[in-house]
Chain A
């Protein structure tokens, strides 16, 4: 049924339709509305047979989910940013134990400087943790991906993270189709773990594994993620058949078939990019888009197939690997090595800490990629004057100590100069 509602509320309803048995809640902006929504549904009796547990930290949130999942309950939690880092040890642990927990990540920047707005730094910080990572472009996709995520996680016994852009999606009111319970029940069977903590059949879970078997344990994790590449496609096809709505699997393309320049991006920014592509196509530019839905496992084959005809590839990263550049660009670079005639790779860092990705800026960026290619990461809409002044100032004397305040000072100087 189509409804106009906030993304977080829609996600809460979709998660409730998946009948989670244990939900762990700890507040952190911008995911909080999701667990609040689930709490309401439990109190109202609309989500039955569910333990809603208010915990004292994100570390506890995921730890409670770990215990519940190992004991046979379908478990869910949500977090963002600092919260994800605070639970980092448990994030790896859940993956190592092979527990099919589903977690929503309301993507947000990581401090310092503290920043509550959207980028993908949090998801990228956990990209090697062993979780499957799916990125939603719209709130409809966020709803659908949660339903797919529970089934995917449980079929492979791999924890799955659904990444939704903080505020841009979590707080946006959109027209969303919430699936029927019967359809979800038919798509997602009850959680039946192979092994579970049970006095009738006692097992030890979480033993110390030494050099003799650790590589094999890790290989099997790698193997399961490789299986996920096909399973995600299959589950998406099944989803589309049952729910009558396209599900996007690993990636999807837009105007990419004959494009010389292909942009690659994840999350909500794809909507803006598509608008820009429409305008540039009208101007006769040969440009297209690949929207990655699945970041982990990284869909090398599908990506290379989508890029087969491209001359240039421009990767949009909403995060920064400080000593390296764009993490998505790095991943794409590895994938391109598999191609016989790889396109040129360009990297852009866009929208850090909630900076809007403006159409005019993207227009300029996309044109520049083919006309005046740059090396290394390009920082879109970087305030060059402020940076130049600060670098000049630092060059004059050795300076140790915090940096954020100095930048703010430079910005203020500039603001006052404008007045």
Chain B
């Protein structure tokens, strides 16, 4: 991938490398006819669903990295519901759903079964949304990290309980309107707070690998999943996946919003190994948070009083702090 970055051949208007411009070995998994199509077409996700896109890329990359020797455990949530309405399934791989809050523990059990039945080559990935990860499944997630079980846990973070009708989760950003933080009263929308940024908590467990990724950079997403599958022990990847329905955004803006989340600094893209930050994706042009907010109706109440709303400034400060904390800005040449 490093060679790719040096080429600096970016598609116009984006920061992603055009697949046709790199040599075949560096092309992404989705570009290959040999991709596994583990999450195959025909599922019932909404138009423009970031989670479906993220899951497709992540799981196909994990499949390639393990020569298709992979089992997926899924928390309850959109991804589970839209892929497996009985008697149909979109999963062309062994797949298990148990409960909302136990995906990490179930994955631990699957991994243990693989070890004890001498099928060590079969790897395990657990996946869930932010509700199933940062809230109800957090105890099991932390337990799996602490034991360093051989599981890659992928959190598809769309910043709310979208499956149940867009309620607030601990990953919902401040001020955002959800069904349980309505844009009503003196302080409309979600309360101001720091929220719960689980990648940082995962790093604090000093597990072998933690990364954040985005559907705005699918090359990077695939590379991180591939890297994660090359490591044994507990691994965590949180993927920012915009939700057109929950965010009140146009379905054609999913990638744009994911990119803006990165370029504003609100969603830092990094890697950490054994508790230490090892890699950060720099922002090439810092974009004001307003550009990100104004595409989403969940923030519409902030914009009624004009662009000078102090809440917008507070959100900008959050972005600025993350840029500083993770060193996201490219140094001036």
Contacts and interface: CB of A to CB of B under 8 A. Distances in A.
A36 interface: no
B71 A206 contact: no
A330 interface: no
Contacts of A59: 101-102, 105, 139-140
Given A72-B117, A210-B86, A63 B105 contact: yes
A197 interface: yes
A22 B116 contact: yes
Contact of B94 (A54, A60, A198, A209): A198
B326 interface: no
Scoring A53, A93, A213 by chain B CB atoms within 10 A of each residue's CB, the highest score goes to A53
Contacts of A56: 139-140, 142-143, 146
Interface in B88-105: 88-89, 91-99, 101-102, 105
Contact of A208 (B70, B86, B102, B142): B86
A417 interface: no
Nearest to A89: B99
Chain B, interface size category, equals 35 or more
B86 A67 contact: no
Given A67-B73, A204-B84, A209-B86, A60 B68 contact: no
Interface in B61-92: 68-71, 73-74, 80-81, 84-89, 91-92
Interface string B107-127: 111111111110000100000
A63 B106 contact: yes
A207 interface: yes
A35 to B, nearest CB: 15
A198 B114 CA distance: 10
B317 interface: no
Contacts of A209: 86
A195 to B, nearest CB: 10
Given A205-B95, A208-B84, A197 B109 contact: no
Contacts of B105: 55, 59-60, 63-64, 67
A202 to B, nearest CB: 5
Contact of B114 (A53, A71, A75, A206): A71
Given A57-B143, A59-B140, A207 B109 contact: no
Which of A65, A71, A72, A202 gathers most chain B CB within 10 Å? A71
A209 B143 CA distance: 30
B117 A63 contact: no
A213 B87 CA distance: 9
B8 interface: no
Contact of B85 (A73, A203, A207): A207
B147 interface: yes
Given A50-B116, A73-B117, A208-B84, A67 B98 contact: yes
B84 A53 contact: no
Contacts of A204: 84, 89, 91, 94-97
Contacts of B80: 206, 208
B109 A22 contact: yes
Interface of B: 68-71, 73-74, 80-81, 84-89, 91-99, 101-102, 105-117, 122, 139-140, 142-143, 146-147
Closest 6 CB pairs of A and B: A67-B109, A206-B97, A56-B143, A71-B113, A63-B105, A63-B102
6 contacts: A57-B139, A59-B101, A59-B139, A71-B117, A202-B91, A213-B87
Interface of A: 21-22, 24, 49-51, 53-57, 59-60, 63-73, 75, 89-90, 93, 97, 197-199, 201-210, 213
